[in-house]
Structure formats: C-alpha cells, structure tokens
Homo-oligomer: A and B are copies of this chain.
Amino acid sequence: MIIDSHGHFTTAPPALGSWRERQLRAFEESGARVSPDELHITDDEIKNAVEQGQLKLQLERGTDLGLFSPGAGKMAHHYGDEHTSLDWSRVSNDLIARVCGLFPGRFVGVCQLPQSPGDALPASVRNSVTELERCVEESDFVGCLLNPDPSDGYWQAPPLTDRVYYPLYEKLVELDVPAMVHVAMSRNPALQGTCAHYLNGDTAVFMQLCMSDLFTDFPDLKLILPHGGGAVPYHWGRYRGVMQDQGRPPLEEAVLRNVYFDTCVYHRRGMQLLVDVIPAGNILFASEMIGAVRGVDPETGHRFDDTTYLLDSLDTLGDTDRRAVYGGNALRVFGRLAGVLKNVESNYPKEAGK
C-alpha cells in the first residue's frame, strides 16, 4: 500500500477563497464575523476539483491513499485574531472531511490548527487542542499541521519547544496523532514561500528540537518535517558535530526516535541523499501534490513532484525499506490510520479493495 503522507487541497473550489476574503475584509473593516454557514460548496464542485487534481495524479502514479490537509500557505495564521483563525480552520477542515467522505479510502484528513501569533498565541494553542480533538473524533482525521511561525515570515513566536505548546503536545500524545511541522505563507518580501520559508521552517525546527529536551517530556510525541527536512539531511554532519560539541546526545537518540522526514525532494540526487543519510524507518513517502512545483521535468519526462518515480529509480533502497517508506512507516506514525482504514473498508468494501 502506497500512502502519500503530504498533500494539500490547493485545488479547492473558488468559493472557499471568496469566503476567506469576506471573512478578512469584515474583520478589518468593523471587527465583524462571517459565519462558516455562509460557505456553500456542492459535492459536485468538490468531486470535480479532486477528480481533476489529486485523485487523477494518485491514479496515474499508483498511490493508494493521500493524507490530505488544507492548503498550507492559505492557513495564513497572522490574519485577524484567534477567533478568525478558529473559524477559518473549521471551514477548511470541514471541507477536507467532505473530501474524505466523498472518496472513502482515497483520502484521510490532516487538519489545520487555529494558531495565532503574538498575545493570542496561548489562547490559540487552547483552541488548537479543541479543534484537533473535534477533527480526530468527529471526522477521523489522523494528523495535523503545526505552524512554527504563526507570524508568517517574521518568526515572532517562541520555538515549538516552548511550554506554551505543551497542552497541544499532551493532546497529540493522548490521541496518538502526529503533527507535521509546516509553515504557512510568508508575508515577508525577503522570504519567498515554497522555496525559502517552507524549507527554512523545517531547518529551524529541527535545530529547536536538537537543542531542547522536548522528547524527554513527551517521549511518544511524533513530529514530521516535510520537504525532505529542509536543509537537514544535506547538513547532517554539521548537526552531528554541533550535538557532539555541545555535549548533547547523538541525533539518533535526541531526535530520530520522534522525528520523521518526508520525501518531498524533487530530483534524484537529492532523494538519494535523503535515503542514504536518514534511516529508512524515519522516512515517509510524500509528494506534496498538488503543491509547490507543478510542471514536468524535461530531464526525466516526469512531473517534478512525482516522487514515486524518483524513489523507484534508486537502487540502494532494499525491498523491506522501500515498503516501510511507501506505507509501513505511515501506518506506524499515524497511529489511528489503520483503524480509520478498517472502518472505511467495512463501510465501503469496494473502494477499500482497490
């Protein structure tokens, strides 16, 4: 079974974006709220968006299941206040739940959290706990996105290892749900989004984790660093050396029991480095589709984000490791996933039999 652990609903029907615009404009102009009930999207609109987008690519590439979250950049946590983020998260997550319901066994939900920067941070963490629980218990979501920079490009929040986030980590562990650490948009003209802020977020958080004892406090917490872990595998020696210089435990002990890297690396040599450096048990297959890069690589004739093609082209990954990367690890890291799939199978036996 091939599980794509990182995909976003970047092709959502335009009504979603219009609702968000109305929400932000109303709040800016008068502090007013726009009700989530004012969003109207039909099942056919959702089906069309997914069938022409993510599902089409799933079928082309032979992947079985996508762990599916709202558009990451669109989370844009810096807008409005914590109530703004809460409404927007509910709207976005409910749409993901509808996708999962319309395509049972094809998509399972990963939720956005209603984070907010600045003074609203503690309240927004409490709201995140509530929204996470709602998505997991009511809609069978199996993971969440956790933004390490809710200021969206100015790094105004404390590190993810700060105690302000501990209520969220307690809930993640209790529910057996991992968080994918994923920044949202960048509103900083110095930091482009997908090729700078995204990768920098991954790199920054890895180092936060290296320098903290978060996993001593939460030995069962599981975090995923997307985009191949930013700069981390390429600079693995630097991290090993700094840990040693500072008298910290080795990376295997300090972070690799709790941290996973996805395979969103869009060329063969980069992918080779990832599987050479990071233990296979810490790698989750993912494509980030439809996401940062959409075109076809003229050097290969495959889309840049067709990471099945890249992984299959590596001859150093043995069969056992390959199965772990493609699906076995995801079933372990997303602790509720097997149960959710079993439930889908009993409700929709044909779909699950694919």
Interface residues of A (CB under 8 A from B): 148-149, 153-159, 188-192, 194-197, 199-200, 203-204, 206-208, 210-211, 227-228, 230-231, 233-242, 244-245, 265-270, 272-273, 276-277, 292-295, 297-298, 304-305
Task: List 8 extra interface pairs beyond A192-B208, A238-B267, A242-B293, CB under 8 A.
Answer: A155-B188, A155-B190, A191-B204, A195-B207, A234-B270, A237-B270, A240-B267, A245-B295
Residues of B within 8 Å of A244, CB to CB, are 295, 298
Q: Are B273 and A190 in contact (CB under 8 A)?
A: no
Closest Cβ neighbor of A238 among chain B residues: B266
Q: Are A297 and B240 in contact (CB under 8 A)?
A: yes
Per the bound structure, the CA–CA distance linking A203 and B200 in Å amounts to: 7
A228-B234, A295-B245 are contacts. A239–B158 as well, Cβ < 8 Å?
Answer: no
Closest Cβ neighbor of A234 among chain B residues: B234
Q: How far is the CB of A188 from chain B (nearest CB, A)?
A: 5
A to B CB contacts below 8 Å, 10 in the list: A148-B190, A154-B155, A195-B207, A197-B204, A199-B230, A203-B231, A236-B269, A237-B270, A237-B297, A241-B295
Closest Cβ neighbor of A307 among chain B residues: B237
Contact of A196 among B189, B204, B265 (CB under 8 A): B204
Q: How far is the CB of A254 from chain B (nearest CB, A)?
A: 13
Q: Are A159 and B190 in contact (CB under 8 A)?
A: yes
Residues of B within 8 Å of A298, CB to CB, are 244
Residues of B within 8 Å of A242, CB to CB, are 194-195, 292-293
Residues of B within 8 Å of A200, CB to CB, are 199-200, 203-204, 231
Per the bound structure, the CA–CA distance linking A277 and B234 in Å amounts to: 12
Q: How far is the CB of A86 from chain B (nearest CB, A)?
A: 23
Residues of B within 8 Å of A207, CB to CB, are 191-192, 195-196
Q: Are B269 and A238 in contact (CB under 8 A)?
A: no
Q: Are A294 and B245 in contact (CB under 8 A)?
A: yes
A149-B190, A200-B203, A203-B200 are contacts. A235–B227 as well, Cβ < 8 Å?
Answer: yes
Q: Are A238 and B195 in contact (CB under 8 A)?
A: yes
A237-B297, A266-B241, A297-B241 are contacts. A155–B191 as well, Cβ < 8 Å?
Answer: yes
